[in-house]
Each structure stands twice: as C-alpha cells, then as structure tokens.
Structure 1
Amino acid sequence: MSIVSLSDLLAGARPDTHCVALKDHRQITLARLRADVSHNAQRLSARSIRHGAVVCEGGYWFLVGVLALVKIGADVILPPNSRAGTLRGLAHELDVLLTDSGVGEVANGVVLESSETEAAPMRFDVANSRIDFFTSGSTGEMKRVAKSLTLFEREAAVLEQMWGAELGDAPVFGTVTHQHVFGMTFRIMWPLLAGRPYHSEFHVAWEPLLAALNGPAMIVSSPAQLTRLAGLAPVAPANRPRIVVTGGAPLPPDAAIEAREVFGCIPTEFFGSTEVGAVAWRRGVTQPALWQPLPTVEVASAADGVLMLRSPHASPDVSGDGWCEQSDRISFAPDGRFLLEGRIDRVVKIEGKRVSLQRLEHEIATLAWVEEAAVVRLGDRRAYLGAVVKLSAAGNTEIHRLGKFRFERMLRRELSLTEDLSVLPRRWRFVDSMPMDGLGKRRVSDVAALLERTA
C-alpha cells in the first residue's frame, strides 16, 4: 500500500468506491466520507466557530467531526473522555461540541449527521490545522498538546514504510480509544492514508473483537488490555492477525508470551508520547528489551543520560523543529538501539536523601512476597513515601499468616538490608491489581489516591 496525503485523498486520489471504514458490518466508501464531511462542514459554517470539540464513540464519526472542523478552519479540541466534569471544564472555550450520540445537557452540542447527497472532491488546508490533545503523563496532571494533521501524515508515512508490506490490505481493529493520540494515529490515520479499512468500533472486551475477525488483520491494543488475555482460546490460524501493536507503557514479558499463544505473533511495542509521536519500536520477550528508533527519528543522549530526540512528527510546542529533551534516561547499545533506564522526574528527596523511586520499586518487587510495586512521594510539609503492592501467591499466604502490621514490618526489615530505613515507605496498600489508565500507564495521582484511602 502507499500513503496519500489527506488533501489528495479527499480530492479523489482513490476511487469513490474505495472502502475507508467498516461500521455495523457495512463498508463506508470514500464518497460517503466526503459527503458526510462536506454536509457537516456546511452545517457548522453558518455559525461562528473558532474552537470545536469532538467526542464520539465511533471512529468513523470521530473522523467526520475532526475533518468538518478543519474544513471550516476551526481548531479541534479532543477531550480525553466524555465525562460531564471534563466537558464542563472545557465549556468556556468551546463554540461547539460534535458527537455521534445524544448531547444531553452539554451546551452547544451538535450530533453529526449523514448526508443525503453526494459531494464533489474537496481540498482543505491540512498544514494549518490544529488539534489539541490532553495528556497526563505519569503525574496525572492534564497538559494540552497541539498537533497538526501534517504531523499525522508524516508519521503514517514512516509506519507504512516499515510495516506496510507485512500488513498488505489487512483491516484494522482496535481496543483503544481514538480520543488519544495513539489510537488516532494507529487505528485511524495510518490505515486511512495507507488505504486500509478500519473498524469504527473500538472494543472494550476481547471476545467480540475476536469473534469479528474474518481473516488477517491488524489489532491496535494497549498493555493494560494485553494483560487480560487469560482464558482466551488461541485464534484460528486463518484469522490470526498479521500485527498486534501496543503503546503507552511497557508490555510485561509474560503478557507478550501469552499474546503470542493467543494471536500467533508477538506484539510490536511503540515507545513515544503525545508530544513527539512514535519514537522507537521493539518486538520480543527477552530482557533487557532494547528499543530501535524509527528511521526518521534521531535519538541522542545528553551528558547526564537524558534522552534527546529530533523528529519530523513532533509537536512544535516541544521541539521547535529541533532537538527536544525528554523525561527519560537512556543508555545505548553498540548497534544504536537503546535501553530505557527510568524517568528523571522519579528522583525525590526524603529526609535529606535523594531516592530513585524506580530503583526502590525494583527492590520491593525482587522480594519473594511481591509481584509488582509502585512507590510515590506523599506529604506536603514533610515528605515520605508510600507503596502500592501486588502480592505474589507466597505474599498472600504470608500476609494472612502474619497480619498486615507484622507483614509490613517484615517487608521493611528485608528492604533495610539494602536501603536506609529513613527512606523506606511508611504507608502501604496491598491490591489485587495495580492502578492503570486505559493505555496501561501508571499515574502518580491514581497510586497516591489508593494510599490516601488507607489513612
């Protein structure tokens, strides 16, 4: 397959009968997409709209809403979710909210409509488009990031260069929302520009997605969802996906192995961010798993080991079209691949001592009673640490035998063999599963909220 620009696609670079999306078991053609974009843009052009938001359950209407706003020259805002509080917080800067379902009590809400007539080929200004995403990173604090459709075109071009031949004309399924940059890039923009149909629905459960497979496909998922494959039967050879892609957080090696048993292939992981897009990729289960930069991305290490990069699909807000510093430390292998060694914002000072939260998490997780751990800084005037811990089978046995208080003292005693007692966690919370967002990221705010409930 070959990439075409969005402007050329809507101007007729592919036949009107070309299938761009699949919705409710029906094909949606390029002619239908063009007609729906034109119709909804005309509806909006009668209003004075400078900033519009799009919140859609389906990926097809999401695309229509984004393109209709770009067509009339409006900035696009993509709220991370459709919760009432999120939308109320943005209401003061929105002239319209486009959706594919009822708008309820939302002010300026407009439901997207299907056109009853055809539309001529169209062109519009992609370069000057602005799409605002929201990212929380590891902290949970929301940050706005501006991108253009041109950046998505550049990213799709390198992805197609790398994996287009492997994918062929395989349709795209997804378990991640298009409201975030990873879902929009991999579920919608890449297949759209490469000429592959994408399924409008994103699945929150595996069973309906697997039931819908009808031949080779591409599946876009997240680490959080790929750790929930237990109990699923292996996909029949004729329906095995050609590629399973994931991003947002590292995929645990045991989840990669389980995914291979179910899908017949090891997931391809992508490392990147909302600000800079995809940076590097890897596919494997051996440790340590090294990252291979994409051919269009230049990666370097600053004197203190901090990741520096230059990418043609990074937001100008962070790159300024040049090198930009990230929040990760890396080390290079001789072949140019790199190892992630933790975030620079995860070093805190406790009792006058600098503590690496990542290193402490590793120390806790190496104990026989622990499967996984998350450590955060707590307290305002006097800082201390708290730990959320998922116990191993041996740990569950031991905590029931000793009780929580004595079990915590045992953990601290073991850790004191390698760590100063003054910096060990003072508050503990034991859970069946670790808190993660929809992409499998662990946010400081979620971990802290669990610990605060133990006070």
Structure 2
Amino acid sequence: MIKPSSCKLANFSFVSETGEVNTAESFWRDACLYGQKLSATKVQLGSKPTLTAVLFDSEPYAFGYKLFALLTKGFEIVLPNNSQPCTLQDAVSHSDIVCGNELSEVEGSGVWIDGLPDSDLYHEQSIVNWPQGGSMVFSTSGSTGKSKQIRKSWQSLHLELETLLSTFNMSSAREFISTVPHYHIYGLLFRLLLPMKLGAKIHSTKEYPEHIVPIINSNKKNRCILISSPAFLKRLCSDNVLSTSADTFCHIFSSGGKLERETAKQLYQQMHFSICEIYGSTESGGIAYRKQTDELDSLWTLFKGISVSATAETQQLVLCSPYLDLQPFTMDDQVEICSNGQFKLLGRIDRTVKIEEKRVNLSDLERTLEEHTWVQSCKVILLEGKRTALAAIVILHEDKRAHSSKLHFNQSLRQHLASKFELICIPKKWRYVEELPINNQGKTTAAALEKLFE
C-alpha cells in the first residue's frame, strides 16, 4: 500500500484542463508505477554513481508524480525552463534518461521512461512517499536571457516550503489557481508543493483572468489562493473580472519580477485586497515579502531565518540564508536597510554603463523617468553597435497615450531627465508600448527589449 507521509497529503487532488480529477490515491499509485520503471532502467544502466534525468511535462499532475518517483529513486533531476526545441535538445544531450511526454521525439536523448511498456517492469513492492532527499537543477534566464543552471537540494526546498507554511495563514485554502508554470522554482513551491502539503485542489495553469471565473463560481464557499506574476496582474487591472469575487481569495501571490506600484494600487482599489509580492531568485531562494496598498513603495519584510546587510561602497545586498550552501551571498540588487530590519530595493548594481566616458546607472534613469506624471513604467537599455546609445522603452499612463505625438513625448521626457543628467546620458532612442515583452517566466529580457529597436 502506498502511504502519504505527512500533513493532509491524502486529501489533495489535481484538476486537468478538461476537468478530469486525479486524487491523491491515484497520484501515489502512478508515482509507484513510474518508480518501478525507473528501477528497471537503473538496472539496465549499470552502476553509474549518479544518474541524471531530464523532466519536462506540461501537466502538473504528471510532472508531480514523476518528480516524486525520480527523487525517491535517487536521480538528479534537470528541469528545462521552457519547451523550446533548442532548450530541450540541450538538456537531454547531457542526461541518462528523459521523462515527460514532450520529450518523446527529442533527438539524442537517453532512455525515454514514459515509453517503456509495463510488461518490462520488475514487479517489486514499491513505496513512494514525500521525498526525503535528492537534488534538482533549475535553469533560469535571468535579465540577460542567457541560461544559467542552479542546483538546489530537496532539503533546502522543503525547508523553504515549511517557512512559507509558517509565514502565511493558508489553512482555509481549498483551491490553488495558478497562472505560472510548475517547472520554475516559484511555481514548484507555490502552485505544486504548497497545495499538496495543505491537502488542496490544484488546477491546471490558467492563462487569462476569465478562465479563473468559472472555478470561483462553481463553489463560492471554497477559499482560493492565486499564484501569479506581475504580467498577469497588470492585464487583470484593465478588465478585472475577479473584483466581485475578491472575498474568495485568502492570498494572491506575485513573483518573477517587480509588481509596478501603479498596478498594485489599482488592484487594491478594485478588490480592496493587497497583493503579496515575493522577492528572491532561483539561486537565493525566497528572501522577503511585502504588500503594497498606497502610492508609496512598501518596505520588504524578511522571511524567518534570513538576514541581510549592505556593502558600504555599493549598497549591494549581502544575504545569509539557510537555503544557501555558500554564504554570505552578495547579490546584484542595491538596497537601503531600515533600522527595523526591513529594506527598500533601489535597483541593480550591474546596470552602470559608460557613454562616451560618462558613467550612468540605468536604474537611476528609470527611477527618474517614472517620477514623471505621464510615465507608468519604463526600461532603459544600452544598444551597442557602430555607435553605443541609450534607448528607453516607456509605458505611458492610459489617459496620456492619445493626447500627443511621439515627438512631444520625447521632448518632454528628455527635458525632465535633463534636470538631473548630462545630455550625453539621456536616451537617444524611444519606444512607447502598452506592455513590456515577457518570456514564459514572466521576465523581460534584454534581448526582447533590443528587438524593439531592430
């Protein structure tokens, strides 16, 4: 018999895109059967010290039981950060086995576990519980767009999970709805492992706000948690179909990037409910959280067990965390630390560039631009070519967009920046957009911004 290990693990369930429900009992049974396939494959592969498995499955249920089986059988698990052919090809080229339906036709892959027939199994008695150890390799694009691999132990992920459970009151949550994928660390923790621990119902990924409404309407007595991103929440502002159901949510979480002040303010006015932002990264783990309700940027509060300081010269955040193997860890974010231990994010240290021997910080340019009454948010980048130039991508407040020309916008914003910056440090190129380009992790990369000027 397959037994769940702790909490309310026997009560969770998964709801597919078509409405099919998979119970916890079927989860443990499928994890057990998949574990038997893995055991048979390990025998065939011989006595290699560490076997590597690539796991990619777009369905949370299938991803979850395969993940637990792999951890139980001692594989190191590599998680590609998207389903692009080149990404999957690169991942499987260094692996012993591959797991997940999307990997069946990737060239050069190892043994495809999903394709093994049940008749080839060694039918040993197998038990799959909540994993006790193992390691996972995440891929993160960061701000540059270049993939970076980050190895995390299962113990550190489980410790972070316990911190989240003790920080936020989620005991009343019966349904978890997510707009982010489960194969990044934020999605893995918040939309897969947390609801499993809480014994909640886990819905398939919802891309648009209107897809969430039927779930809420089907059982208004159930409290929900929404796991989301700044990009989704910004879209929600323009037509908030969830505002009349705000009391259904016990939490709405956002991570993967900065939630703009204007977006947070609008959502609070529409729903009378503050969004909880999570600050951290794949490498650092969760660091702090905050809720914005007014026009001023709220300060960040550290999670239990985390401590931070700032370097004297650059004000870089120096992190000490139980989720890190090597610490202290100096990050590229600049902070201002308050006497009560909270802090304010100022920008990134690695965004100081040279323009004809003049140094200018891109974050400082962005902050100054966003002080202009017309500007909702913006990004400033460095375009390198025959002649290096600064370029600005600006989102104007909706009521300003149709009331003037691009030339007038350019002149006014340049004049605004001229009060603080030398002429050479003011952007030469300008683009006005309704929203910033994002990748599947909800991040805006430098490469995507540069394409706007091609």
Scaled to the shorter chain, the TM-score interval is 0.7 to 0.9
Give, in angstroms, the shift of residue 380 of structure 1. Answer: 5.0
Is the Cα–Cα contact under 8 Å of residues 280 and 293 in structure 1 kept in the other structure? yes
Partner of 1:133: 138
User: How many Å separate the matches in 2 of 1:367 and 1:236?
Assistant: 33
Partner of 1:74: 75
**Partner residue of 1:41 out of 12, 15, 35:** 35
> Which moves more between the two structures, 258-267 or 112-121?
112-121
* SS in structure 1 of the partner of residue 199 of structure 2: coil
**Partner residue of 1:195 out of 198, 203, 211:** 198
Partner of 1:299: 308
Partner of 1:377: 382
Partner of 2:89: 88
Partner of 2:451: 449
> Which moves more between the two structures, 383-392 or 274-283?
383-392
User: How many Å separate the matches in 1 of 2:261 and 2:369?
Assistant: 19
In the TM superposition, 1:181-192 aligns within 5 A as 181-192=185-196
In the TM superposition, 1:283-322 aligns within 5 A as 283-286=291-294, 287-304=296-313, 305-314=315-324, 316=325, 320=326, 322=327
Is the Cα–Cα contact under 8 Å of residues 333 and 346 in structure 2 kept in the other structure? yes
Is the Cα–Cα contact under 8 Å of residues 61 and 100 in structure 1 kept in the other structure? no
In the TM superposition, 1:43-442 aligns within 5 A as 43-47=37-41, 48=45, 50-100=51-101, 103-106=104-107, 107-108=109-110, 109-111=112-114, 121-122=127-128, 126-127=132-133, 129-164=134-169, 166-192=170-196, 194-213=197-216, 214=219, 215-229=222-236, 230-234=238-242, 236=244, 240-260=248-268, 264-286=272-294, 287-304=296-313, 305-314=315-324, 316=325, 320=326, 322-379=327-384, 383-392=388-397, 393-394=399-400, 396-399=402-405, 404=407, 408-409=410-411, 411-442=413-444
User: How many Å separate the matches in 1 of 2:26 and 2:362?
Assistant: 52
* SS in structure 1 of the partner of residue 91 of structure 2: helix
Is the Cα–Cα contact under 8 Å of residues 249 and 439 in structure 1 kept in the other structure? no
Letter in 1 for 2:371: T
Pair 381,171 (structure 1): closer, same or farther in 2 beyond 3 Å: same
> Which moves more between the two structures, 374-383 or 98-107?
98-107
Pair 413,10 (structure 1): closer, same or farther in 2 beyond 3 Å: same
User: How many Å separate the matches in 2 of 1:14 and 1:425?
Assistant: 55
* SS in structure 1 of the partner of residue 212 of structure 2: helix
Letter in 2 for 1:168: S
Letter in 1 for 2:210: E
Letter in 2 for 1:56: D
Pair 58,122 (structure 1): closer, same or farther in 2 beyond 3 Å: closer
Pair 28,344 (structure 1): closer, same or farther in 2 beyond 3 Å: same
User: How many Å separate the matches in 1 of 2:345 and 2:66?
Assistant: 37
User: How many Å separate the matches in 2 of 1:141 and 1:257?
Assistant: 33
Is the Cα–Cα contact under 8 Å of residues 243 and 267 in structure 1 kept in the other structure? yes
Is the Cα–Cα contact under 8 Å of residues 51 and 75 in structure 1 kept in the other structure? yes
Give, in angstroms, the shift of residue 407 of structure 1. Answer: 5.3
Give, in angstroms, the shift of residue 38 of structure 1. Answer: 1.8
> Which moves more between the two structures, 83-92 or 215-224?
83-92
User: How many Å separate the matches in 2 of 1:394 and 1:14?
Assistant: 52
Letter in 2 for 1:364: L
Letter in 1 for 2:359: R
Give, in angstroms, the shift of residue 366 of structure 1. Answer: 3.2
Partner of 1:21: 14
Letter in 1 for 2:39: S
Letter in 2 for 1:259: L
User: How many Å separate the matches in 2 of 1:60 and 1:16?
Assistant: 14
* SS in structure 2 of the partner of residue 313 of structure 1: coil
Pair 121,239 (structure 1): closer, same or farther in 2 beyond 3 Å: farther
Letter in 2 for 1:33: F
Pair 231,369 (structure 1): closer, same or farther in 2 beyond 3 Å: closer
Give, in angstroms, the shift of residue 111 of structure 1. Answer: 3.5
> Which moves more between the two structures, 16-25 or 168-177?
16-25
Give identity over the alignment, percent. Answer: 25
> Which moves more between the two structures, 137-146 or 194-203?
194-203
User: How many Å separate the matches in 1 of 2:250 and 2:124?
Assistant: 35
> Which moves more between the two structures, 216-225 or 12-21?
12-21
Letter in 1 for 2:24: L
Letter in 1 for 2:361: S
User: How many Å separate the matches in 2 of 1:169 and 1:152?
Assistant: 21
Give, in angstroms, the shift of residue 442 of structure 1. Answer: 2.6
Q: What is the aligned-residue RMSD (CA, Å)?
A: 3.0
User: How many Å separate the matches in 1 of 2:372 and 2:66?
Assistant: 51
Kindly tell me the number of residue pairs found equivalent between the two proteins.
432
User: How many Å separate the matches in 1 of 2:207 and 2:25?
Assistant: 30
User: How many Å separate the matches in 2 of 1:367 and 1:238?
Assistant: 32
User: How many Å separate the matches in 1 of 2:334 and 2:390?
Assistant: 22
Pair 310,257 (structure 1): closer, same or farther in 2 beyond 3 Å: same
TM-score by length of 1: 0.85
Letter in 2 for 1:21: F
Is the Cα–Cα contact under 8 Å of residues 77 and 133 in structure 1 kept in the other structure? yes
Pair 115,259 (structure 1): closer, same or farther in 2 beyond 3 Å: farther
User: How many Å separate the matches in 2 of 1:275 and 1:33?
Assistant: 29
User: How many Å separate the matches in 2 of 1:31 and 1:118?
Assistant: 19
Letter in 2 for 1:131: M
User: How many Å separate the matches in 2 of 1:425 and 1:245?
Assistant: 34
Q: Which runs of 5+ in 1 are unaligned?
A: 1-8
Give, in angstroms, the shift of residue 257 of structure 1. Answer: 3.6
* SS in structure 2 of the partner of residue 242 of structure 1: strand
Is the Cα–Cα contact under 8 Å of residues 373 and 388 in structure 1 kept in the other structure? yes
Deviations 1:1-32 (A, max 9, x none): xxxxxxxx956446885335344545534332
Is the Cα–Cα contact under 8 Å of residues 316 and 335 in structure 2 kept in the other structure? yes
